[in-house]
């Protein structure tokens, strides 16, 4: 079943209208929320084939795309969708989907509801990551993972198997290059996930601060720690498959997905295996060898 956002409340942009306005030169920049009107705004009356969530860096404080490269990346993607018969489709892009600038009281309500629903959007939509920079793509990606919102968005998308594409600013043929490059961006996310304490908000916040992960608004970092921990439970609750039972002391060969669903942190703890310590080592060819041991009770003095 295709994910269906509430297009009466959530502001998505229609890819076909977006492409048409670029071709007619009516659209030369990614529009802000207040300018997403008419056919450009996705309609609940249209049966969309796909919904996309755009994770990206703001390349300046008041304009996410001053150079226009993100607009060009989305244009190339829209052309590919059109060529493959994948329209109508639509996308969520924060600058266009949430009220910008000084907000009215009504807009503030929309803004806060939008933030509260980001986990659901990241889980339900296919995610496209736009990687700003013009040097080494992987180095640019690591730098982008130091941005709190981007880190949160990509972890949610990766863990829910919704991260589909990575487009990088330095590529002239952005979409064509993404075909071979996207898989190269997954190991850095896995590396980050293996070191994160993913089920305790205080520990996760301390880890984010230690690793130099930042938000422009510093007050948002605790909120993001809360979102990521909340997601740890959401994704498992939404899974239809039952987590495989693990008998203590037995070595299990688990897939990457199953290890991710247990949310085992760097200290070997999982919210789904209380009172136990988990050790896991990478297997050649993929997956992990996993052993669960009961915690050793403290000895009496």
Pairing of strands 50-56, 89-92: parallel
Residues 263 and 176 placed together within one structural domain of the fold: no
Q: Is the pLDDT of residue 248 over 60?
A: yes
User: 133 and 282: one domain?
Assistant: no
**Residues 151, 192: Cα–Cα separation, whole Å:** 9
> Could you tell me what percent of the chain has a pLDDT over 70?
86
Evaluate the CA torsion angle 229, 231, 232, 233 in order and state its sign: positive
For residue 214, pLDDT over 60 is answered with yes
Three-state DSSP class for residue 39:
helix
Instruction: Clarify whether residues 261 and 215 are in a common domain.
Output: no
Percent over 90 (pLDDT), the chain: 45
- The reply to whether 51 and 113 lie within a common domain is yes
Q: What pLDDT is stored for residue 265 in this prediction? A: 65
Position 199 scores a pLDDT of 66
Within a domain: 190: yes
Q: How confident is the model at residue 221 (pLDDT cuts 50, 70, 90)?
A: very high
Q: Is there a single domain that holds both residue 233 and residue 259?
A: no
Q: What is the mean pLDDT of residues 57-64?
A: 93
For the cut 50, the answer to whether the pLDDT of residue 81 exceeds it is: yes
Looking at per-residue confidence, does 240 or 293 come out higher? 293
Which is higher by pLDDT, 57 or 283?
57
- pLDDT tens digits along 157-185: 887 777 888 888 877 777 666 766 677 88
CA distance 253 to 88: 42
- The most confident of the ranges 188-192, 256-260, 267-271 is 188-192
Q: What is the pTM of this model?
A: 0.80
Beta strands in 94-155 (DSSP E): 126-131
pLDDT at position 86: 95
Q: Which of 105, 1, 2 is nearest to 48 (CA)?
A: 2
CA distance 217 to 196: 22
Do residue 120 and residue 30 come from a single domain? yes
86 lies in the same domain as 24: yes
Structure tokens at 256: 């990457």
Give domain status of residue 6, yes or no: no
For the chain, the first-to-last Cα distance in angstroms comes to 58
Tally of structural domains, the chain: 2
Q: What is the pLDDT of residue 1?
A: 47
pLDDT digits (tens, 9 = 90+) for 8-48: 788 999 999 999 999 999 999 999 999 999 999 999 999 99
Q: Are residues 56 and 89 in the same domain?
A: yes
**297 CB-near residues (< 8 Å, 6+ apart):** none
Are the CB atoms for 21 and 107 separated by under 8 Å? Answer: no
Domain presence at residue 299: no
Same domain, 157 and 226: yes
Classify strands 13-14 and 89-92 as parallel, antiparallel or unpaired: antiparallel
Per-residue pLDDT at 236: 58
Are residues 286 and 193 part of one domain? Answer: no
Residues 36-45: tens digit of each pLDDT: 999 999 999 9
Report which of residues 159 and 64 the model is more confident about.
Answer: 64
Least confident residue range of 39-43, 44-48, 55-59, 228-232:
228-232
pLDDT, residue 296, reads: 66
Alpha carbon 190 to chain centroid distance? Answer: 13
183/119 same-domain check: yes
In a domain, 300, yes or no: no
pLDDT at 166: 85
Average pLDDT of the chain is 85
Q: What is the pLDDT of residue 130?
A: 93
Per-residue pLDDT at 112 exceeds 50: yes
Which of 237, 259, 283 finishes a domain?
Answer: 237
Residue 89 within a domain:
yes
What pLDDT digit, counting tens, does each position of 114-147 carry? Answer: 888 888 888 889 999 999 987 788 899 999 999 9
Please report the pLDDT score of residue 120 as a whole number.
Answer: 83
What is residue 41's predicted lDDT score, i.e. its pLDDT? 96
Q: Does 270 reside within a domain?
A: yes
For residue 266, give its domain range: 251-294
């Amino acid at each position: 079943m295709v994910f269906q956002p509430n297009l009466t409340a959530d502001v998505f942009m229609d890819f076909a209208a977006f492409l048409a306005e670029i071709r007619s030169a009516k659209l030369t920049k990614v529009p802000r929320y207040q300018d997403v009107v008419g056919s450009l705004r996705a309609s609940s009356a249209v049966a969309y084939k796909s919904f996309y969530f755009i994770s990206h860096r703001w390349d300046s404080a008041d304009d996410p795309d001053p150079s226009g490269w993100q607009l060009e990346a989305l244009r190339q993607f829209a052309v590919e969708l059109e060529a493959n018969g994948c329209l109508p489709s639509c996308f969520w892009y924060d600058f266009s989907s949430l009220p910008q600038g000084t907000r009215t009281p009504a807009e503030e309500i929309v803004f806060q509801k939008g933030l509260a629903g980001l986990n659901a959007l990241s889980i339900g939509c296919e995610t496209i990551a736009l990687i700003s920079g013009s040097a080494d793509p992987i180095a640019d990606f690591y730098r982008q993972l130091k941005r709190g919102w981007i880190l949160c968005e990509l972890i949610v998308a990766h863990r829910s198997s919704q991260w589909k594409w990575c487009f990088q600013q330095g590529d002239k043929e952005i979409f064509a290059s993404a075909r071979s490059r996207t898989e190269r961006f997954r190991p850095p996310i896995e590396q980050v996930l293996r070191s994160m304490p993913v089920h305790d908000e205080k520990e996760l916040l301390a880890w984010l601060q230690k690793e130099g992960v930042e938000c422009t608004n510093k007050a948002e970092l605790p909120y993001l720690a809360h979102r990521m921990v909340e997601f740890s439970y959401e994704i498992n609750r939404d899974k239809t498959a039952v987590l495989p039972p693990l008998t203590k002391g037995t070595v299990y060969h688990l897939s990457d997905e199953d290890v991710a669903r247990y949310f085992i942190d760097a200290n070997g703890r999982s919210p789904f295996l209380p009172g136990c310590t988990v050790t896991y080592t990478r297997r050649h060819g993929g997956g992990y060898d996993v052993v669960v041991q009961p915690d050793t009770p403290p000895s009496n003095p």
